[in-house]
Amino acid sequence: MRFPLLAYLTVACGCVVAVGGAFAAVHRPLTALALLGAAALAAELIEEPESARVREPVGPGVFRVASGVDIAAVIVLGPWRGALVAGAAALLARLVRGSWRHAAFQASAFALAALGAGYAFTIAGGHTGRLLLPDDIVPLTALAIVYLLISRGVLQLIGAGEALDPEFAAAAAETGLGAVLAILALGHPWDVLAVIPVALAVNRAHGRVRHSRQETLHALETFANIVDERDPSTYRHSIRVAQYVDELARALGLPYADIDRLRWAARLHDLGKVAVDASVLRKPGKLNPTEWGTMWRAPRLSGRLLRRFELSAAESRAVELHHERFDGRGYYGIPPEELPLASHFLIVADSYDAMRSDRAYRPGLTEEAALAEIARNVGTQFHPAVAKAFIAVQRGLDPYSALSAEEQEELRGSAAPTKLPVLPGAFDVREQPELAALGGLIAALAGVGLGANWLIAAGSVLLCGGLVLRATVRLRSARLRSKISATLADGTRDQVFERLASVLEHALDGDWAALVSWEEDGLGGRLEAERGQGPPERTLMSWLVREAESREELLAATADELSTPGDHVYVALPLRRENSALVGFVALRAGRLLPRYVRAALAASLDGIGLALADRPAAGDEQAGRLAS
């Protein structure tokens, strides 16, 4: 790997800092310097090597115990000696593991970060050798921000040549550890020993979480490889698609998190083909309706599988829709305004690799022929901006040179981190009366300890209010359960649905309800009855497919997830037979997340609702089942 000029300049600056730190340490007490240096070196040695880390689509940032020690050294020793500790420890630990150039560069990055953070601490009002909280919270915050931006900035922007991903959560934890270490070291340097077991335990726990996530990714990756290997014409297909998507995302300058999630979505986009017979995948001729049905369901199954994992849930919809078209004539007929931009990255990369690959019924196209085919289908099959950028990247050009100003802005907007939506009302304190009561109890106890009568009074009021709210929730839930039970008493299936929908719409201030029957393979359903005007049926089914195997008793989604206007919430109640087989849903639309008393009433009534509304097998089928048993 070529070492850039800026990296050499960073190493030169690091050498200057090391010399300055050595001069600053002359004729100064060595106890704190030696102990913090030993702690920093030990912390660096227990860190996971960068080469062993797997880039994940989502998840916690890399927490470094060594960064906490660096921060403590800066507070206790000052900018220059703290930088000496940080740089020397990083250098010695990395020389054991890799080349001197990378060791010197990374050590220089941490030394410069420590130096800058030390000066930020003093400029913001802090004093070397002292940390008093909460008085020094502003200097400590300034120290943390500067250390974070310099260390991550140098390593990511200069070292990796990628966009800055600051990882604020991990940085906050490192700062907290550094503050604790500094307070202990300022009391007496040997007091730091008391926190070492805790730091080691935190580091080990964090490492286990990351390894668990990596093992999950590797397992999913293995399934993707199995799918690719079932058909010789698609061998290593998902690897190549992931590479194309990665190249495009990097060329567009997207942040780390976006590059990772797009690459892994591409790597796992064909998981649903695991349910397709290998003979269908290899068939040279036209598929019959049954065979086409299994292929048609595969993208939905891919989305359904990925939705179950936190690290891939955010991109499950993009994966599900990777066979759609910009003109709305894809597998599921999803209009372009409902397609997430991430899906267009997968669509163009997947199509390009398919065109380049040999098939039983045709040879693969050349690179230029495949790119020309993409260009011919811009605006019909492919998103214009994504397709133009992809073609430019494959030809070795700057993707932004091929785009208009509006198209550039659209793709830059795709760099916004993908987050699972927050349901309206999810953080309403009225829906969590226990937390209000416990918060009041904590405040009252704190008031007793501090001798603050006003805090005791405020906490007591909050405690009583929380208890009253809890009692109210239980009473309203019992009343609604009685109403629901009455709707299930007798009548036909349609009559029961009408009565139940009326009760729930009144309780939720809703304006739409639907009864959905579900297919046995779990990859689709159809509307049987509907009250009001709801979302398009294909959009509703797409959501239910992704969530059908959720562990949640009640499924919920925002309007954005179903690509409908407004701030309302969609809710689905699974309907199950006595054998727990999923046979349908009752879907509702409400103005906000279901109130707690409604959720409690529905959860307690799910079995009864399922038995009343589940479409029972025909009598002949039941008799056949009894004879078979």
Q: 206 and 239: one domain?
A: no
Across the chain, what does the average pLDDT equal?
Answer: 81
CATH of the domain at 313: 1.10.3210.10
pLDDT at residue 58, rounded to an integer:
47
Q: How far apart are CA 359 and CA 314, in angstroms?
A: 32
pLDDT tens digits for range 526-537: 888 888 888 888
pLDDT at residue 348, rounded to an integer:
94
In 3D space, the residue among 283, 561, 608 whose CA is nearest the CA of residue 421 turns out to be 561
Please say if the pLDDT value at position 211 is more than 60: yes
pLDDT band of 565, cuts 50, 70, 90? confident
pLDDT at residue 423, rounded to an integer:
46
Please say if the pLDDT value at position 1 is more than 60: no
pLDDT at residue 331, rounded to an integer:
84
Number of other CB atoms surrounding residue 337 within 10 Å: 7
Q: 279 and 194: one domain?
A: no
In 3D space, the residue among 80, 86, 92 whose CA is nearest the CA of residue 36 turns out to be 86
| SS3 per-residue string spanning 296-337 | HHHHHHHHHHHHCCHHHHCCHHHHHCCCCCCCCCCCCCCCHH
Is 281 contained in some domain? yes
pLDDT at residue 360, rounded to an integer:
66
Return the bridge partners of 130, or none.
127
Helices 237-251 & 256-267 angle (0-180, nearest 10): 160
Q: 151 and 297: one domain?
A: no
Please say if the pLDDT value at position 610 is more than 70: yes
Angle at 548 between CA 609 and CA 270, to 5 degrees: 165
Q: Which of 182, 212, 242 is the last residue of a domain?
A: 212
Is 422 contained in some domain? no
Asked whether the CA dihedral 507, 513, 515, 521 is positive or negative, the reply is negative
Q: How far apart are CA 78 and CA 117, in angstroms?
A: 10
Higher pLDDT: 385 or 25? It is: 385
Domain range for 110 = 5-212
Q: How far apart are CA 335 and CA 285, in angstroms?
A: 29
Higher pLDDT: 113 or 234? It is: 113
For tokens 């890799």, name the residue.
98
Q: What is the mean pLDDT of residues 365-388?
A: 91
Most confident of 169-178, 406-415, 471-480, 597-606: 471-480
pLDDT at residue 426, rounded to an integer:
45
Q: How far apart are CA 264 and CA 54, in angstroms?
A: 11
Q: 206 and 241: one domain?
A: no
Q: Which of 372, 398, 413 is the last residue of a domain?
A: 413
Q: What is the mean pLDDT of residues 168-180?
A: 83
Please say if the pLDDT value at position 356 is more than 50: yes
Q: What is the mean pLDDT of residues 176-187?
A: 85
Q: How far apart are CA 197 and CA 211, in angstroms?
A: 21
Please say if the pLDDT value at position 48 is more than 50: yes
In 3D space, the residue among 183, 180, 80, 82 whose CA is nearest the CA of residue 131 turns out to be 183
Instruction: List Cβ neighbours of 322 (8 Å cut-off, separation of 6 or more).
Output: 269, 299, 302, 343, 346, 347, 350
Q: 140 and 17: one domain?
A: yes
Q: 561 and 608: one domain?
A: yes
Instruction: List Cβ neighbours of 288 (8 Å cut-off, separation of 6 or more).
Output: none
Q: 286 and 391: one domain?
A: yes
Q: 15 and 150: one domain?
A: yes
pLDDT at residue 56, rounded to an integer:
57
**Which string of DSSP letters, residue by residue, matches 435-463?**
HHHHHHHHHHHHHHHHT-HHHHHHHHHHH
Are 554 and 571 in contact by the 8 Å Cβ rule? The answer is yes
Q: 166 and 265: one domain?
A: no
Secondary structure of residue 572 in the 3-state scheme: strand
pLDDT at residue 425, rounded to an integer:
45
DSSP designation for 582 = E
Is 553 contained in some domain? yes
Q: Could you give the residue ranges of the DSSP H alpha helices within 60-190?
A: 65-77, 79-95, 100-123, 137-153, 168-187
For tokens 């604790």, name the residue.
180
Q: 241 and 208: one domain?
A: no
Instruction: List Cβ neighbours of 308 (8 Å cut-off, separation of 6 or more).
Output: 549, 550
Is 392 contained in some domain? yes
**Which string of DSSP letters, residue by residue, matches 184-202?**
HHHH-GGGGGGGHHHHHHH
Please say if the pLDDT value at position 100 is more than 50: yes
CATH of the domain at 33: 1.10.1760.20
Higher pLDDT: 574 or 46? It is: 574
pLDDT at residue 163, rounded to an integer:
62
Sheet with 569-576, strands from edge to edge, namely: 525-531, 512-518, 582-590, 569-576, 555-558
CATH of the domain at 495: 3.30.450.40
Higher pLDDT: 53 or 333? It is: 333
Please say if the pLDDT value at position 626 is more than 50: no
Is 448 contained in some domain? no
How many distinct structural domains can be found in the chain? Answer: 3
pLDDT tens digits for range 219-229: 888 878 888 77
Higher pLDDT: 579 or 130? It is: 130
Instruction: List Cβ neighbours of 83 (8 Å cut-off, separation of 6 or more).
Output: 17, 18, 20, 21, 74, 111, 112, 114, 115, 118
Is 464 contained in some domain? no
Q: 199 and 252: one domain?
A: no
Q: Which of 80-94, 134-148, 581-595 has the lowest mean pLDDT?
A: 581-595
Is 226 contained in some domain? no
Q: Which of 156-160, 291-295, 377-381, 525-529 has the lowest mean pLDDT?
A: 156-160
pLDDT tens digits for range 399-450: 888 888 888 877 876 544 444 444 444 445 556 778 888 888 999 999 998 8
Q: 141 and 32: one domain?
A: yes
Is 373 contained in some domain? yes
Q: Which of 369, 385, 413 is the last residue of a domain?
A: 413
Q: How far apart are CA 450 and CA 338, in angstroms?
A: 56
